[in-house]
């Protein structure tokens, strides 16, 4: 039955989860809970960083952009996976797959780029506090974000053009809950996927450069922080830096592992679980991670929940 559906329809069949109807409903409900948590958390961050006049520093501007990005990123894959599971129809059209690959790869690269910019912001704030307002003025921040989003679009175009230039000569069954590039490469039985490998190599080199930049930034940050005499000052700096470092490490490690590991012709539950770790978990946990140890964010959140006006201290050190 599955073979007939695939061969008679111009699209792909997503088989990321179990064929059992009850398990599909369970997965759909689990994804729905995670999706609602991600939507709520990121929307709250966008709201409070927009309304609270004391959360207008570059750090919170970039955090708002990250939340907007995470809302878009998780919406590319999860809603369709929920719908497919509930409707018991895992078919996705060729056009839908193209759009999903484009937006997924664009937003994934944008995530790497914005995390790099955020690390530079922390580096500038902590290592060059006297020049921080000059270096990270609003105009420079806006241009940085324009560059981030444009670079994401270019990455998406490269990946999409290279991926769909190959000939899919095998049965169009994808053992994943979305149109993932590594899974699409398994459907090729010739060497025309080398273009995708080239794009992978190029993006990997640039991603490695971003990772090195982030690592060097934090080497300088931690060496500067350790010289701060005040324990409270060190604690406030760590409260903004450590969550960012965790997010960067988690996202890059899982994404690189998924995209650079050798592909296999046999379906693997590990591939599906790994994809969940870099598509669903980061957008869901980022709002919690960034807000948990940030007193300014927690104070603004309390004001929002208690329906108060946004007031409070403008603590420079918590922003820097």
pLDDT score, position 292: 65
* CB 118, CB 148: distance < 8 Å: no
* CB 230, CB 238: distance < 8 Å: no
Domain assignment of residue 319, yes or no: no
Domain assignment of residue 288, yes or no: yes
Cα–Cα dist 60/187, whole Å: 43
pTM for this model (two decimals): 0.84
pLDDT score, position 67: 92
pLDDT score, position 268: 64
Total domain count, the chain: 1
1 alpha carbon, distance to own chain's centre: 36
Domain assignment of residue 191, yes or no: yes
Per-position pLDDT tens, the chain of length 320: 444 455 556 778 887 666 667 777 888 899 999 999 999 989 988 988 888 888 888 988 999 999 999 999 999 999 988 888 888 778 888 889 999 999 999 999 999 999 999 989 989 988 888 888 899 999 999 999 999 999 999 999 998 998 888 888 777 888 888 888 888 888 877 666 677 778 888 888 888 888 889 889 888 888 888 887 777 667 767 776 777 777 778 788 877 777 766 666 565 677 778 888 888 888 888 888 877 667 777 777 777 777 655 544 443 334 33
Using alpha carbons only, what angle is made at residue 15 by residues 14 and 19, rounded to the nearest 5 degrees? 135
Domain assignment of residue 67, yes or no: yes
pLDDT score, position 73: 94
Domain assignment of residue 160, yes or no: yes
Q: Which residues span the domain enclosing 201?
A: 11-306
* CB 258, CB 271: distance < 8 Å: yes
Cα–Cα dist 245/120, whole Å: 12
Cα–Cα dist 21/93, whole Å: 22
pLDDT score, position 201: 82
Domain assignment of residue 49, yes or no: yes
Candidates 112, 107, 81; CA nearest to 96 is 81
Candidates 110, 42, 46, 44; CA nearest to 78 is 42
Domain assignment of residue 1, yes or no: no
Domain assignment of residue 317, yes or no: no
CATH of the domain at 250: 1.20.1070.10
pLDDT score, position 25: 83
């Amino acid at each position: 039955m599955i073979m007939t559906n695939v061969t008679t329809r111009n699209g792909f069949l997503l088989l990321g989860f179990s064929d059992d109807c009850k398990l599909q409903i369970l997965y759909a409900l689990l994804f729905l809970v995670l999706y609602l948590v991600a939507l709520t958390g990121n929307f709250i961050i966008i709201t409070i960083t927009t309304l609270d006049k004391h959360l207008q520093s570059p750090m919170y501007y970039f955090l708002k952009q990250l939340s907007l990005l995470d809302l878009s990123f998780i919406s590319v894959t999860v809603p369709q996976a929920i719908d497919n599971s509930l409707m018991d129809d895992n078919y996705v059209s060729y056009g839908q797959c193209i759009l999903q690959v484009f937006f997924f790869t664009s937003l994934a690269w944008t995530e790497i780029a914005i995390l790099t910019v955020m690390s530079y912001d922390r580096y500038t704030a902590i290592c060059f506090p006297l020049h921080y307002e000059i270096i990270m003025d609003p105009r420079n921040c806006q241009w940085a974000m324009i560059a981030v989003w444009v670079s994401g679009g270019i990455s998406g175009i490269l990946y999409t053009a290279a991926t769909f230039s190959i000939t899919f000569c095998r049965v169009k069954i994808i053992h994943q809950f979305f149109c993932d590039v590594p899974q699409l490469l398994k459907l090729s039985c010739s060497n025309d996927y080398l273009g995708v490998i080239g794009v992978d190599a190029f993006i990997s080199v640039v991603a490695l450069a971003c990772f090195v930049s982030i690592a060097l930034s934090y080497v300088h940050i931690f060496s500067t922080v350790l010289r701060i005499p005040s324990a409270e000052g060190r604690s406030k700096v760590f409260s903004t830096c450590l969550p960012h470092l965790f997010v960067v490490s988690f996202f890059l490690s899982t994404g690189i592992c998924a995209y650079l590991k050798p592909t296999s012709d046999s379906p693997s539950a590990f591939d599906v679980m790994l994809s969940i770790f870099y598509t669903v978990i980061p957008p869901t946990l980022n709002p919690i991670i960034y807000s948990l140890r940030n007193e300014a964010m927690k104070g603004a959140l309390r004001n929002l929940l208690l329906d108060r006006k946004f007031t409070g201290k403008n603590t420079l050190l918590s922003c820097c």
